[in-house]
Structure 1
């Protein structure tokens, strides 16, 4: 009786590589950078020297995306650009077609007459509900 033998080839064991701890740190730093880039672009730019109006009520809602800003001199801004009367009318026409609501960011030094005049222009442009965006006063 003949015996047949086959050689058995065993794989050479490779030493286990240790997980690199710097890889996790790189991932965390990358995610943090990504978060900061996204968070910085979410808020539309405001005019220079803009100071938020304060309120003591925390009720209400509104998105500042696509909202107007009224500065201390009564000028109207949209996404960092000052709007003239014609540009405001064009904006109101396009936004009134989408919704009858508008969010307005108000500087604390804005004169009430400027705010009232803008509210009248918005009403004439088809806006029925205006939400004023303010910050909560610290209560001190």
Structure 2
């Protein structure tokens, strides 16, 4: 009969890893990652600022009507025909947030057919 081979005793590395991980989490929560601001300081509020579209952009309202520099435009073809030839290379549009996507895509297609080279959609983040 053979005897069992003696088992080698392993170090408890899993327990050590768990302890180091818990210490890391503790110091991340308890420590300060960035220096605090002065308590007397008040940050600027930008939520109430009114964003304005660029003056060279075609504005599309929620109901689908078009406006350029404050004047209504009948359709995309009339708008593109009134532009300078250099301005037709890049046409910027500012759609209303509630404008249906299908209507926006159709307008982009109409602008391209009318002679616009590139149609750029200006979003809220681009206005800031």
TM score, norm. by length of structure 2: 0.50
Which structure ranks higher in relative contact order (CA pairs < 8 Å, sequence separation ≥ 6)? 1
